Amino acid sequence: MALIVQKYGGTSVGSIDRIRNVAERVAKFKMLGHQVVVVVSAMSGETNRLIGLAKEINKDPDPREMDVLLSTGEQVTIALLTMALKDLGLKAKSYTGWQIPMSTDSAHTKARIEHIDDSAMRADLEQGYVVVVAGFQGIDANNDITTLGRGGSDTTGVAMAAAIKADECQIYTDVDGVYTTDPRIVPEARKLDTITFEEMMELASLGSKVLQIRSVEFAGKYKVKLRVLSSFEDEGEGTLITFEEDSMEQPIITGIAFNRDEAKLTILGVPDKPGVAGHIVAPIADANIDVDMIVQNIGVDGTTDFSFTVHRSEMKKAMEVLEMVKSAIGARDVKGDDKIAKVSIVGVGMRTHAGVASTMFKALAAENINIKMISTSEIKISVIVEDKYMELAVRALHQAFELDKEPSAA
């Protein structure tokens, strides 16, 4: 007998029929003798409907009241799912965030979990109940309802699993696991049986939308065994997210992420002296523009070129800031390029294998794809290429690292 936390997203509970399917899946686990805690999101579309109502009143609605409003979405789902479980003859009981209680700080609309009291849930589990928990919501020290922000139901699932020391946290979604890359771009993309937390963090932050990044951090911190599965398929083990220590020999590269949401800005002929990077980045940060990659080359003639990427929608604003910075620091010119894409290879194996970067650059060169910018971390290499080459670059890299093949034990 295991203690399992299952989390179902908005699409998985998007209609009464789907809620029934979830109830049947839960019933199967219960029949196998497991204890089950189910964490659910709002029915798909509901959160946006509620946000729409609030924005009709004020574009920037009061955050406390926003949380009162949005938390109703998950509350509807827990009631309906619990009814469906009881309809199957199971014992089941719903919990709102405040009923658990799940304590958070008071940062409305983006609260952080502080403590989960598992005593009531545990008593119910021991009496054979399926415990159905509203994701995304908590209660703060003022007795006010809080929400964790978008994707917070994943985080609730993982935090719940950590609090009750579950054997596994299963995240059900509309994909059947984590893939080496997007199968819509590379048909040979392969579902991974396992992926490390660190890889998952890099892939998630690079735009793979399978899991919310904060839930992965949480799982890593509390060593929660996390599995991503499809709620629309009955078979399949999904993808298990592991700690590196647990894993067998790793493949060099695990997956390829990409996105075309960014724009590249370059400030040319910057006087090459200490502190200049700060003079450039600080005003960008002050303008509330998030910076992703930053690259600076060593200068040759007493000046240097400084490049960074921002979200494409903020390029214009960033250019305006840089024009002011240019005069202030005596740089030569400012250039912006929004016809770019970022392609990243991720894998814990690259730490111990030389030549990964070389394989990557050669594969791109073989397709005549020019690299405009490079940045690297321990387990990731990202390149900026011309927008129109993005899919080609992903396919070339997928093949070069033989991601379509099952990794052989080394």
* Rounded Cα–Cα distance for residues 280 and 278 (Å): 5
Exposure string for 275-301, b = 16+ CB within 10 A, e = fewer: ebeebbbebbeeeebebbbebbeebee
Q: Is the separation of the CB atoms in 40 and 134 below 8 Å?
A: yes
Is there binding between residue 54 and a copy of itself (CB under 8 A)? Answer: yes
Instruction: Determine which residue in the list 31, 119, 127, 143 makes contact with a copy of itself, applying CB under 8 A.
Output: 143
Is there binding between residue 99 and a copy of itself (CB under 8 A)? Answer: yes
Instruction: Determine which residue in the list 27, 66, 189, 360 makes contact with a copy of itself, applying CB under 8 A.
Output: 66
Instruction: Determine which residue in the list 40, 69, 263, 379 makes contact with a copy of itself, applying CB under 8 A.
Output: 69
Is there binding between residue 64 and a copy of itself (CB under 8 A)? Answer: yes
Least separation in angstroms between residue 140's CB and a copy of itself is 12
* Rounded Cα–Cα distance for residues 350 and 378 (Å): 8
Would you put residue 234 in left (φ > 0), alpha (ψ -120 to 50) or beta? alpha
Instruction: Determine which residue in the list 72, 109, 296, 359 makes contact with a copy of itself, applying CB under 8 A.
Output: 72
Is there binding between residue 93 and a copy of itself (CB under 8 A)? Answer: yes
Is there binding between residue 180 and a copy of itself (CB under 8 A)? Answer: no
Residues that bind a copy of itself (rule: CB under 8 A) add up to a total of: 37
Least separation in angstroms between residue 98's CB and a copy of itself is 7
* Element holding 334 (H helix, E strand): strand 333-337
Which candidate, 177, 19, 176, 18, places its Cα nearest to that of 84?
A: 19
Strands (E), 200-280: 226-230, 239-242, 255-259, 262-271
**How far, in Å, are 10, 48, 49, 62, 70 from residue 54 at the CA level?**
20, 10, 9, 9, 10
Is there binding between residue 323 and a copy of itself (CB under 8 A)? Answer: no
Indicate the residue among 98 and 389 with the shorter CB distance to a copy of itself: 98
Q: Is the separation of the CB atoms in 402 and 256 below 8 Å?
A: no
Is there binding between residue 239 and a copy of itself (CB under 8 A)? Answer: no
* Rounded Cα–Cα distance for residues 78 and 94 (Å): 6
Instruction: Determine which residue in the list 96, 170, 239, 242 makes contact with a copy of itself, applying CB under 8 A.
Output: 96
By three-state DSSP, how is residue 131 classified?
strand
- The DSSP code sequence of 179-209 is BSS-TTT-TT--B-SEEEHHHHHHHHHTT--
Is there binding between residue 141 and a copy of itself (CB under 8 A)? Answer: no
Candidates 138-146, 167-175, 216-224, 401-409; binding stretch for a copy of itself (CB under 8 A): 138-146
Is there binding between residue 83 and a copy of itself (CB under 8 A)? Answer: yes
Candidates 49-57, 209-217, 308-316, 382-390; binding stretch for a copy of itself (CB under 8 A): 49-57
* Rounded Cα–Cα distance for residues 213 and 127 (Å): 34
Is there binding between residue 80 and a copy of itself (CB under 8 A)? Answer: yes
Candidates 91-99, 156-164, 190-198, 384-392; binding stretch for a copy of itself (CB under 8 A): 91-99
Candidates 139-147, 227-235, 283-291, 324-332; binding stretch for a copy of itself (CB under 8 A): 139-147
Is there binding between residue 289 and a copy of itself (CB under 8 A)? Answer: no
Helices (H), 60-173: 63-87, 119-126, 152-163
* Rounded Cα–Cα distance for residues 115 and 410 (Å): 43
Binding site for a copy of itself (CB under 8 A): 16, 19-20, 50, 53-54, 56-58, 61-62, 64-66, 68-69, 71-72, 75-76, 78-80, 82-84, 86-87, 93-94, 96, 98-99, 120, 143-145
